[in-house]
Structure formats: C-alpha cells, structure tokens
C-alpha cells in the first residue's frame, strides 16, 4: 500500500510541475508547444524477475551502447544517456512529433536488493537488457538434507 501511495504522490508531483510549465508557457503567449517539452525524457521499460534475477528491459531504439550508462546499488538501477537526432534536414513545421531525442534518465526501484558487482547489461535489437543478480537471501535455494 505504501508503494501505491508513493506512486500516486509522484504522479501528482509530475502533473503539478507540468501544469506550472504550461501556465508559464501560456502567460508568455508563446504558442509553440515544442518548446514546452521536457529537456530529458524517460524511455519505456519493463521490470520482471526470475528465480535468481531482476531483469530490466529498456526500449532504446537509435541509441548506441556507447551513449548509455548504467549504475546499480542496493535496490536501485539508474540508466542514463542520450539519443541523438539522426535527421540532417532542417525542421520547420511538424505535423506529428512522438519520438524523443536528447538526454534521457530512468531510475528504477527494484523490489529487492541486488549484488551490484554481478549486474550485466547488453543491447539486443534496440533494447537494453539489464540483469541484476538478487542477493542470495532474496531467492530460494535448495538446502541439502543430511
């Protein structure tokens, strides 16, 4: 229940910040909404677990491994980097704009502690896959019976 309350509060905080930016934007009578976008973006990610690992799958199409940094400690993984705009054409008028470019940052809270010395990350088909080995107390192990 505490996690749900924390999530709701975080979403409310984000909404409040967005509304504040929007009001400042309108009061300046600047109707170009491209300026309104956040300077950093959050890539979509999935988090799941196996018997021994927490696995994070992050959608990072168009990003090279050299442009990404992954940090892990305790119950938290931070992924940050930048997706550069590959278009060399001048941008004058957009009809649709859904792809985010520029710096990104994602902080993922894991449901349990991990061994930060045993985290592995790799790219596959536009996805970053981060495998975090759970601390031994987090996963079930078979105990031999004498």
Query: Quick one: pLDDT band at residue 16, thresholds 50, 70, 90?
Result: confident
Closest CA to 45 of 139, 141, 130: 130
CATH for 81: 2.60.40.790
Query: Quick one: pLDDT band at residue 79, thresholds 50, 70, 90?
Result: very high
- Report the predicted TM-score, pTM, of the whole model to 2 decimal places: 0.68
Asked if residue 114 and residue 45 are part of one domain, the reply reads yes
Query: DSSP letter string over 108-132?
Result: EE-SS-EEEEEEEEEEETTEEEEEE
- Give me 101's structure tokens: 């470019």
In a domain, 146, yes or no: no
In a domain, 143, yes or no: no
Average pLDDT over residues 62-82: 94
In a domain, 18, yes or no: yes
Total number of domains in the chain: 2
Q: What one-character DSSP code corresponds to residue 41?
A: B
Q: Which residue segment(s) compose the domain that 43 sits in?
A: 38-85+98-138
């Amino acid at each position: 229940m505490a996690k749900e309350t924390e999530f709701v509060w975080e979403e409310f905080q984000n909404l409040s910040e967005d509304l504040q930016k929007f009001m400042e934007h309108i009061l300046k009578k600047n109707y170009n909404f491209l300026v309104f976008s956040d300077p950093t973006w959050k890539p979509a990610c999935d988090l799941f677990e196996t018997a021994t690992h927490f696995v994070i799958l992050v959608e990072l199409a168009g990003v090279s491994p050299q442009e990404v940094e992954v940090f892990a400690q305790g119950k938290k993984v931070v992924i940050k980097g930048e997706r550069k705009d590959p278009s060399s054409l001048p941008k004058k008028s957009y009809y649709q704009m859904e792809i985010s470019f520029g710096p990104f940052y994602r902080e993922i809270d894991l449901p349990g502690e991990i061994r930060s010395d045993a985290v592995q990350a790799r790219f596959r088909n536009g996805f970053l896959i981060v495998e975090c080995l759970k601390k031994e107390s987090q996963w079930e192990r078979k105990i031999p019976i004498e």
